[in-house]
Amino acid sequence: MPIETVSTAKAHGGTLGVYKHDSASTGTGMTFSVFLPPQAEVGGKLPVLVYLSGLTCTHANVTDKGEYRKVCAELGIVFVAPDTSPRGEGVADDPAGAYDFGLGAGFYVNATQEPFARHYRMWDYIADELPALLAANFPVDLGRIGILGHSMGGHGALTLGLTYPDRFKSLSAFAPIVAPGQVPWGHKALGGYLGDDRAAWRAHDAVALIEDGKRPAGAVLVDQGDADSFLIEQLRPELLVAACEAAGVDLTMRLQPGYDHSYNFISTFMEDHVRWHAARL
């Protein structure tokens, strides 16, 4: 599984790198970042966090703004940030160029509808290809992988964590889309990628997965800003709270006063999330 090094830089005693490779899942080139803490130089395999970004983002948003490197260096955590969708020549996009579908908005599903089915296979990429690629090229322990994400990426983290609790041992999210089957972003994305059969949507809806019997490996942490402009229409955290209460899932839902949907919010609570995962990995 060859990868190309785009750049590396020293940070908090570790190394922040950006890498490219040809993806078998998406049939495109894919770019991701990896922060290796200083413990990577000692030897042995380290726990890893996979962070899934939100709409319009690439690997670079959290890499540049996430403020995770210091705490990852302290705790010996590898932090990985993949892209949010396939990109490149021939990759289908929203015909109107909308921000919430197509490029930058893969929604972490395997599309079944044309013209998206050929390349939009982010589910397979995150669940299978990326962990194998990391294990082949970096000192990571595949038995100690946590997953977290923001907004659309929070949706991806929750659905992957619920579906594969044997692979993703810890789970958290920032302002996730918890029930895409019940909100406009999800109706557009799941309908466009998966078609009109709403039964197929349930596999990519955290609330529906919990209702259908899926459970995470352990407790779940979610932070949500109460000044988030998407809170009422698109995010609806109360639906996740209700589903978890009904199913006995251990959810810590923290509504943070005054915080919005931006990386000002995410960076403020990132250390809490890294420590949450470290305690479980």
Per-residue pLDDT of 1-48, as tens digits, reads: 789 999 999 999 999 999 999 999 999 999 999 999 999 999 899 999
Q: What is the DSSP letter of 88?
A: S
Domain ranges of the chain: 4-279
Q: Is 183 left (phi over 0), alpha (psi -120 to 50) or beta?
A: beta
- Under the banding of pLDDT at 50, 70 and 90, the label for residue 164 is very high
Tally of CB atoms within 10 A around 247: 16
pLDDT in tens, 213-245: 999 999 999 999 999 999 999 999 999 999 999
Cβ neighbors of 238 (< 8 A, separation 6 or more) are: none
**Per-residue pLDDT at 175:** 98
Strand-strand pairing, 29-36 and 140-150: unpaired
**Per-residue pLDDT at 242:** 98
Question: d(Cα 154, Cα 262) in Å, to the nearest integer?
Answer: 13
Strands ordered across the beta sheet of 140-150: 4-11, 14-22, 29-36, 78-82, 46-52, 140-150, 168-174, 220-225, 251-256
CATH number of 4-279: 3.40.50.1820
**Per-residue pLDDT at 43:** 86
**Per-residue pLDDT at 122:** 98
pLDDT in tens, 75-125: 999 999 999 999 999 999 999 999 999 999 999 999 999 999 999 999 999
Residues 185/107, Cβ–Cβ less than 8 Å: no
Residues serving a catalytic function are 151, 228, 261
- Under the banding of pLDDT at 50, 70 and 90, the label for residue 126 is very high
For the chain, percent of residues with pLDDT exceeding 90: 99
C-alpha torsion 251→55→4→68, nearest 10: -50
